[in-house]
Amino acid sequence: MQITSAMKMVSAAKLRRAQDAIIRMRPYSQKLQEVLSNVTASLGDGVDSGNYGKQREIKRVLIVAISSNRGLCGAFNNNVIKESRAILAKYEGQEVKVLSLGKKASDYFRKFPVAYSEGFGSAPYKVFDGLSYAGSSAIAEEVMRQFVSGKWDKVYLIYNQFRNAAVQVVQREQFLPVAPPVADGAAKADYIFEPGKEEILKDLIPRSLKIQFFKALLDSQAAEHGARMTAMHKATDNANELRKELSLTYNKARQAAITKEILEIVGGAEALKG
């Protein structure tokens, strides 16, 4: 109980920092998507997503499974693995690989031939050792490069989205190919574009992909600490209940032993009287 209580406090401290990070990231991500939608709307039907929007026949699929490096966080990792296996079943018979960002997912999928890390180093899950945009961007760029080269026809992101300390929702997002953002009619703001709308769009799409990837990692990190804090809180409560039950059992056993000794003394005294 003391161990789980200490782990709960550690996770609560880490959750605060991770929660602040994802809360700061979301407005920027949303604003970037808003600008992208606005530029797309102003371009009309002639929108070109470049190499990142190429729709090809689905023969090769990459799953980026984002889990944690440590356990004791409830169903956090199992949910990611379960969702990844659902995609594997969906594309059964085709070439499907899993890039694991997180030691728990890596330990699970490396038992199967679907594990993949070519071009990402020997341990891509180390991205969580001091998570930064630079580290995330390097992995996102390699995923994007492999998609553009034709190695993959579709790329999925599987991760737990942080809602609050008690709620984490597993997400399945199509990372690539990217479709042009859906614009609601005309542009919502009157911008002056320099050097031009098409050039800005070509820069915004890869930038938006990298932000989307980094946001998924931040979401997963915050969700992990929330899940672990909740799991350790429940474990502490269960240990407290168990301690109460054990104390009651021990007290009953002690009282029974005392009663037995008293009866033996009384019985011996009565025998001596006889």
The answer to whether 201 and 46 have CB atoms below 8 angstroms apart is no
Going from the C-alpha of 79 to that of each of 66, 168, 220, the distances in angstroms are 11, 10, 12
Q: What pTM did the predictor assign? A: 0.85
pLDDT along the chain (274 residues), means of 10: 94 94 91 76 58 87 96 95 96 95 94 92 80 93 94 96 93 85 57 76 86 95 96 95 96 95 91 83
State the fold for domain 12-230.
Pyruvate Kinase; Chain: A, domain 1 (3.40.1380)
Residue among 15, 22, 73, 211 flagged as catalytic: 73
The residue type of 48 is: D
Angle at the Cα of 186 from the Cα atoms of 184 and 189, rounded to 5 degrees = 105
Q: Where are the domains of the chain?
A: 12-230
φ/ψ of 141, rounded to 5, equals -65, -40
Supply the pLDDT for residue 38: 72
- Residue of 86, 92, 120 whose CA lies nearest to 106: 120
Q: SS3 for 160?
A: strand
The answer to whether 115 and 109 have CB atoms below 8 angstroms apart is yes
User: What's the first-to-final CA gap in the chain, in angstroms?
Assistant: 55
Supply the pLDDT for residue 229: 96
Residue 172 designated active-site: no
Supply the pLDDT for residue 126: 81
